[in-house]
Amino acid sequence: MRHNYEVIRVIRQGSNSCIGSDYVLGETLGGYLLRHPRVEKEQLFSWISQIIKQLADMEDIEAIDQDKHITPFHIMIQTDKTVGLLKSKVKIPQEFQKKFDSKEAVRKDIYSFGKTLQFLFAKSSLPKGLTRGEESRLQKIIVKCLTDNSRKQYHHFGQVVSDFSAILSKKRRQLTRRIVVIACVGFGLWGAYTWLSDIILQNGQGGVPFAEESDAEGLDAKEITNESENGDESVQRERQAYQYMKEEKYLKALEIYIDMLDSRQEEAYYRTVVSLYEKCNMPKEALGVCEEGLEKYAKSTELALSFIQLVCKNETFTKEEKEEKISEVVCKWNAVLGTKRFSMLQREYGIRVEGEQVWFER
């Protein structure tokens, strides 16, 4: 049932921020899902993303109560389907009152948020369902919310934002693929004709020699040339992407390689997409794709090194979190220690390694 609730707002004015509130019409997220369990996956992901972002914003200005429980009954769905955190207290149904509490949790807000995620996916009936990758990543987020292991648990909501963004980046890649297909249809035959003509000119009349070294750090020209010899149908698109990279049109190249990655998921494509995301100044997406690649290619030293570099650059991680993440990589991929690239990262970021222990000197 809809009622008027007082909802928290983070108000930003230039570099200053403060907490305000509004009275708006809506109903609690918990009550809504109990009455309307059927919900689209995209809508549910949107709600979760909004909630995490609001919690992270409140934490940034030290306006969050770490001992306060965050439950589906403290989140309100407004009439425009956006969500907000309630300022006023609400009555939680008796059968759920003890399910979001933990006396041992250091951060009761993060613990109860993990329980809220469990509630959302348990009570929602998703027509499309979760993919295996989405389910695995969500499970890791929930575990890090609920664990009492201080080395593995979340210490602030910015970390949750980063991990959930990795799930969304995969969905954005799939959406980009659909957009590219629609755009090609929209351009029609004339667009297709001119595009193919450009490729013919590039490769048949004095264009850039295709066997030259690529600027990408993943799929080099030699690998693409081998694909050409094998008669791969996608080689023309790879040629176009290569040309975009030569012209430093990295976003256009990224769109093509995202499409290739979704259909082929080869290690070289993962490395190339990670590199292009970095060139496009999209570090969160780069880290998400890199983690996904490491799950599929557990022996990839290059992806492991890219992951270490991305972690070092990431300003949302604390020094201790960086040390933990890099330590895990060093334990699984010992081969990185003997590489020139790791030596360069050690010098650049002051990384020290002794056995399985990793720390930063500065």
**Bridge partners of residue 75, in order along the sequence:** 85
The top-level CATH class assigned to 3-155 is mainly alpha
210 or 194, greater pLDDT = 194
Model confidence at 338: pLDDT above 50: yes
DSSP H or E stretch at residue 76: strand 75-78
Give pLDDT tens digits for 18-65: 778 888 888 999 999 999 999 999 999 999 999 998 888 888 877 677
DSSP H or E stretch at residue 17: strand 16-28
Upper half-sphere CA count for residue 86 (Cβ side, 13 Å): 24
Which pLDDT value is given to residue 171? 54
Long-range contacts: 338-341, Cβ < 8 Å, 24+?
Answer: 339/301, 339/305, 341/305
- Distant-in-sequence, close-in-space partners of 29: CB < 8 Å, separation ≥ 6: 47, 72, 73, 75, 76, 77, 83, 120
CB 36 within 8 A of CB 125: no
**Bridge partners of residue 6, in order along the sequence:** 23
Burial of residue 34 (CB within 10 Å: 0-12, 13-18, 19+) is middle
Which pLDDT value is given to residue 307? 93
Give pLDDT tens digits for 101-127: 776 677 888 998 999 999 999 889 888
- Distant-in-sequence, close-in-space partners of 67: CB < 8 Å, separation ≥ 6: 108, 109
Model confidence at 216: pLDDT above 50: no
Averaged pLDDT for residues 62-72: 77
Provide the greatest CA pair distance for the chain. Answer: 76
Model confidence at 181: pLDDT above 50: no
Model confidence at 294: pLDDT above 70: yes
Please state the domain extents for the chain: 3-155, 169-290, 298-362
Determine the Cα–Cα distance for residues 322 and 324; give it in Å rounded to an integer: 5
Which pLDDT value is given to residue 177? 47
- Distant-in-sequence, close-in-space partners of 158: CB < 8 Å, separation ≥ 6: 56, 59, 60, 316
What single-letter DSSP state applies at residue 255? Answer: H
